[in-house]
Amino acid sequence: MIKLFIEFYSKPTVNCIRKWKPVSQNNRSQVHTDFAKKPGEMVSLHQQCQIAFGPNFGACPNNEYYHGRPICKRIWCKDRRLKRSEPCQTLTYFPAFDGTECARNMWCIAGECIENPKKWIDCKDLNAKTCSRYSNMKLVFLAALTVVVNGWYYGRPDPGSSTTGGVWPLPWTISYDSYNHTINPASFYFTSKVGACDVIDKATARYLKKFLFPRYKAASYSDQPATLTSLVITVAQGCDQGYPQLEMDESYQLSVTQGKAIATLTANQVWGALRGLESFSQLIYLPDDNKFRVRAASIADSPRFPHRGIMIDSSRHFLPVGVILQNIEIMAMNKMNVLHWHLVDSEAFPYTSTVYPQLSQKGAYSPRHVLRGVRVVPEFDTPGHTGSWSYSIPNLASKCYNSNGAISEMSNIIDATIPANYDFLSNFFTEALALFKDNYMHFGGDEVAYDMRECWYNNQDVRKRMSDMGLGSDTSALLNYYWKKLFGIIDKARAGTKKVVWQEVLDMNVPATDSIAHVWKGDTLDEVMQEMASVTMNHKAILSSCWYLNYIKYGADWGYVNEQNMRDRGMYYQCDPQNFTGTQAQKDRVLGGEAALWGEFVDSTNLIQRLWPRASAVAERLWSDPKQTTSADAAWPRLHEMRCRLLGRGFAGEPVNDPDFCPFEWDVQYSD
């Protein structure tokens, strides 16, 4: 719509429409007759920004600082309520109106900055044929103006609103310079001062090949001049040969400076260098003249929380390794650092065990696919949700009976009274702990109350063994016994393992003093924060309640709050894991959070689209300064650019904020 509006307003016949006063809240349609002027004389650059973005916007202080994009071709605007460091915004099509002064004694005409243009073409006679649509077009103009100023499509954001070179998630400190470098994809290179280091070497090769300059043809850039030629990477602690862990240092400093042909990236550890490398890649943009440029900027950045994750569920639908690795790649783009892998559940056991190969006879993952050098936290949910285990291991699960004594169709909880089952658990987890190198492992523990009644209390054989163990008929005592035995096995197999459990384990008063609570309960924001306040009294916590991305609803659920039931609409950007009433010590126990994607209706055909870029909202909440990221409306232009960046890099991220468009649109190759 803005394109049609600007094209119409730039034509000579627009002089048949009376001039409108500058935009204000109280008077948007006041008109005056002035048919001797071009639109750009009647409407200032600031007012043109108000037309496109709303009354709080004005022109950037220096619209020429986007080299190759003078205002006659595209105007850059800024929300005057935001900090100076925030980037300017534009639209895919947003040239200045004809008659806008672009330089001293020069004016915009048809997208060019021209000196001494021809005399303006006037509408001499309102009744002439050239003005025959005066009445109707006047109404169209005023209606279009009202729509533009008040918001697009009944209050929705402008479809073309996007930053250029905006970094996601927002760095804690970022300062843009009033200059942009040119860069030549054919000759740009990285210099590493780390020495031989697979983490850095493979990352720089990957960025050069795939992500810095997506969809370009090298031959087109062989002779393009460049004011930025390379990025030098320095890591204070040298190359880390181990696996990333919760305690890793992800801080970095990035400097792309005017007048310097070499940019610098410094970090304490290689993990921070990876985060800085991604930020550098996001400063690169492709303007209208089809020549890559880099935003000049200084960044000092580090994460707010150490645990920033995505939970995927491969138990309900098999997920090919390719789509898992693709998701990890996008996680890195969003500076998320934990893949919580819900590997097994009642429906399936898609994990290859060398000790118990019969567990995974159908649809399993091989250990060679897991060892990717990324932080992978596996979840083996016990003692419930183990129905699939029981098909291969005799007597592992208790038989279940309803209140009438009829046997249930499926056993779904481990029989905690049989000693041999603990031998199985010892062998199995000893193998799993050797395979997965992360210090953390998730042991589940959710939704067991029903099975404790049906499969333990209603099972006479289990009740008898409980009595022989001195537990009477108290199934809660048996649950405590199970967790004590299991955690003893874990500590023996690998000392120092951090144990994550779903919050029910702690809600049921299981004595698991060193466990980390994974919070998933609460249907409203108040309920979620009450859960966080409760568990952080004595435990470290990870939050997922706000971020169940398997729920989808009509609308922009990534950023807006529906207090009645957040899962009806979503509140991903607005949910803060520390926004509960509690002591500073409690808030310090919050490790971070995870976006959860349960797999009942998700497989390889829709995992990427369902997650991204909706999960990007979670990434910014967990990485960035909460004081600078309070407004979803202010974040939208950067998120839109991030979504377009996904498409440009070959990932099918779905649209998340009503109608929009990207320079790179997703396409599927199809032939008869």
Query: CATH number of the domain that 221 lies in?
Result: 3.30.379.10
Q: Is the pLDDT of residue 141 over 70?
A: no
Same domain, 140 and 6: yes
Over the stretch 288-336, which tens digit does the pLDDT of each residue have? Answer: 777 889 999 999 999 999 999 999 998 888 888 889 889 999 999 999 9
Same domain, 256 and 214: yes
Most confident listed range (211-225, 322-336, 380-394) = 322-336
Same domain, 142 and 182: no
Over the stretch 263-272, which tens digit does the pLDDT of each residue have? Answer: 999 999 999 9
In the prediction, which pLDDT does 153 show? 46
Which of 151, 186, 221 represents a domain boundary (last residue)? 151
Q: What confidence tier does 533 reach under pLDDT thresholds 50, 70, 90?
A: very high
| Residue 70, domain member (yes or no) | yes
Same domain, 194 and 129: no
**In the numeric block, which tokens belong to residue 641?**
């650019």
Q: Within 12-70, where are the H helices?
A: 39-42, 45-53
In the prediction, which pLDDT does 215 show? 72
Q: Among the listed ranges 26-40, 49-63, 225-239, 452-466, which one has the minimum average pLDDT value?
A: 26-40
Q: Among the listed ranges 215-224, 458-467, 502-511, 547-556, which one has the minimum average pLDDT value?
A: 215-224
In the prediction, which pLDDT does 144 show? 47
| Overall average pLDDT of the 340-349 stretch | 75
More confident residue, 440 or 564: 440
DSSP bridge partners of 240: none
Q: What confidence tier does 9 reach under pLDDT thresholds 50, 70, 90?
A: low
Over the stretch 606-656, which tens digit does the pLDDT of each residue have? Answer: 999 999 999 999 999 999 999 999 888 889 889 999 999 999 999 999 998
Q: Is the pLDDT of residue 558 over 80?
A: yes
**What is the Cα 579 distance to its own chain's centre?**
20
Same domain, 14 and 140: yes
- Indicate the Cα dihedral angle 126, 129, 134, 137, nearest 10°: -160
Give 114-119 contacts, CB < 8 A, sequence gap 24+.
Answer: none
Over the stretch 274-285, which tens digit does the pLDDT of each residue have? Answer: 999 999 999 999
Residue span of the structural domain in which 79 resides: 2-151
**In the numeric block, which tokens belong to residue 482?**
């199970």
Q: Among the listed ranges 241-245, 416-420, 623-627, 634-638, which one has the minimum average pLDDT value?
A: 241-245
Same domain, 136 and 257: no
Residue listed under structure tokens 């050098």: 373
Same domain, 6 and 147: yes
Q: What confidence tier does 3 reach under pLDDT thresholds 50, 70, 90?
A: low
Q: Which of 447, 454, 594, 600 is catalytic?
A: 447
Which of 244, 271, 301 represents a domain boundary (last residue)? 301
More confident residue, 15 or 531: 531
Annotated catalytic residue 41: no
Q: Is the pLDDT of residue 370 over 50?
A: no
More confident residue, 233 or 5: 233
| Overall average pLDDT of the 208-228 stretch | 78
In the prediction, which pLDDT does 594 show? 98
First to last CA, the chain: 35
| Residue 81, domain member (yes or no) | yes
| Residue 166, domain member (yes or no) | no
| Residue 537, domain member (yes or no) | no
Same domain, 19 and 136: yes
Give 435-438 contacts, CB < 8 A, sequence gap 24+.
Answer: 435/367, 435/370, 435/371, 436/370, 436/376, 436/377, 436/378, 437/242, 437/243, 437/371, 438/243, 438/245, 438/375, 438/376, 438/377
What is the CA angle 419-425-431, rounded to 5?
A: 145
In the prediction, which pLDDT does 357 show? 64
Q: What confidence tier does 28 reach under pLDDT thresholds 50, 70, 90?
A: very low
Which of 301, 327, 351 represents a domain boundary (last residue)? 301
Query: CATH number of the domain that 93 lies in?
Result: 3.40.1620.60
Mapping DSSP onto H, E and C, the string for 298-345 reads: EEEECCCCCEEEEEEECCCCCCCHHHHHHHHHHHHHCCCCEEEEEEEC
Mapping DSSP onto H, E and C, the string for 612-669 reads: CCHHHHHHHHHHCCHHHCCCHHHHHHHHHHHHHHHHHCCCCCCCCCCCCCCCCCCCCC
Q: What percentage of the chain has pLDDT greater than the value 70?
A: 78
Same domain, 140 and 179: no
Q: What confidence tier does 21 reach under pLDDT thresholds 50, 70, 90?
A: very low
Same domain, 134 and 19: yes
Same domain, 100 and 6: yes
Q: What confidence tier does 111 reach under pLDDT thresholds 50, 70, 90?
A: confident
| Residue 41, domain member (yes or no) | yes
**In the numeric block, which tokens belong to residue 658?**
């009503």
| Residue 512, domain member (yes or no) | no
Q: Is the pLDDT of residue 237 over 80?
A: yes
In the prediction, which pLDDT does 142 show? 38
In the prediction, which pLDDT does 609 show? 94
Report how many domains make up the chain: 2
Over the stretch 70-98, which tens digit does the pLDDT of each residue have? Answer: 788 888 888 877 766 677 888 767 888 88
Q: Is the pLDDT of residue 47 over 90?
A: no
| Residue 211, domain member (yes or no) | yes
| Residue 203, domain member (yes or no) | yes
CB of 564 closer than 8 Å to CB of 574: no
Same domain, 181 and 295: yes
Q: What confidence tier does 570 reach under pLDDT thresholds 50, 70, 90?
A: low
| Overall average pLDDT of the 174-185 stretch | 90
Quote the mean pLDDT of the chain: 81
